[in-house]
Structure 1
């Protein structure tokens, strides 16, 4: 019984931190590729080209997959100076507006990159050194943008709930006491 709970906690941890774990994996692969490149170039005086291509691809993947986690935790870029000019409710409204603008931009980018990916697949283009079909790494980007939008919608829902709690403080205290009793 305890083993099952520990396994479930481990699975929940992995699922909850999947973006960061994947970003870390790409980071390690990038570092290994760069280390190999430096070793071959400066120690053996025989540079190899595929390591640079792999490192660049891993860097891009790391950044975009890591940005999903930043979006999930509401740590993406904001204009804090402008947002802080408002009261608590006004801040939340401005944050929601920012999230909506971010989500729309993500959808536009996802559509554009998805179209590019389809064209790369259609023409059978591959990377220069690794000969990986180019559409595969390109297709990761629209998936990341759509996943960020999903996380943004979750954040918007949380902010709307906070606004409702600010409008009706009695229901917020009732919800808190109900949550405490349920735990």
Structure 2
């Protein structure tokens, strides 16, 4: 059974990702309508659309990992014995954790530099550091879910076939 806090946070995560995806789609449709139907293009739509989609995608990375919906080629994996599957899962999730932590740190550094430089977007004038927040937020979420998956693997180490398909919700 899911913890109430986890369910609440999951709902926020899904709402924010959906908001950015749907908002970006609506802005894109507005831009197309203005350009091709009204014949009066607005330049800011592309900038906002791209920013919204980047946020939706970066937040979606963690959601996909959490729900085991990422792309996996498991032809060889399925032929492995249970202990080998667990070892592969530990290696894969450790590499994913390391990579996502690295990108989180680099993202924070990128946001910090952009904030210090005071740059703004061309069309809308939004501070660049706000648009760069997608990377540390998304990679931070991805790091969190990789860590939870690793914890889950070790919690179920002695149980049969609790490997790649183990859901993170089982931790709560």
Does the alignment reach a TM-score above 0.5?
Answer: yes
- Decide whether aligned partners of structure 1 residues 11 and 105 sit closer, same or farther in structure 2, where only a CA change above 3 A counts: closer
Structure number, greater radius of gyration: 1
- Tell whether the 8 Å contact from 1:74 to 1:155 is kept in structure 2 after alignment: no
Q: Does 1:54 find its partner at 2:71?
A: no
CA distance in structure 2 between the partners assigned to 1:164 and 1:109 by the alignment: 32
Relative contact order higher in (CA < 8 Å, ≥ 6 apart) = 2
2:107 is matched with 113
**CA RMSD in angstroms, aligned pairs only:** 2.2
CA distance in structure 1 between the partners assigned to 2:151 and 2:5 by the alignment: 25
More moved, 117-126 vs 73-82: 73-82
Q: List runs of 5+ in structure 1 lacking aligned partners.
A: 1-8, 167-183
CA distance in structure 1 between the partners assigned to 2:22 and 2:5 by the alignment: 22
- Tell whether the 8 Å contact from 1:78 to 1:98 is kept in structure 2 after alignment: no
1:125 is matched with 119
Alignment partner of 2:70 out of 76, 80, 88 = 76
CA distance in structure 2 between the partners assigned to 1:156 and 1:99 by the alignment: 6
CA distance in structure 1 between the partners assigned to 2:79 and 2:35 by the alignment: 53
Q: List runs of 5+ in structure 2 lacking aligned partners.
A: 161-172
Aligned to 2:133, the other structure's residue is in SS state helix
CA distance in structure 2 between the partners assigned to 1:25 and 1:83 by the alignment: 36
Aligned to 1:80, the other structure's residue is in SS state coil
**Count of residue correspondences:** 159
Deviation at 1:40, TM superposition (A): 0.7
Deviation at 1:13, TM superposition (A): 4.3
Q: Does 1:153 find its partner at 2:136?
A: no
Aligned to 2:15, the other structure's residue is in SS state helix
Aligned to 1:131, the other structure's residue is in SS state coil
Deviations 1:94-140 (A, max 9, x none): 11210100111112222222222211111100111111111112123
TM-score by length of 2: 0.82
1:21 is matched with 15
CA distance in structure 2 between the partners assigned to 1:23 and 1:136 by the alignment: 16
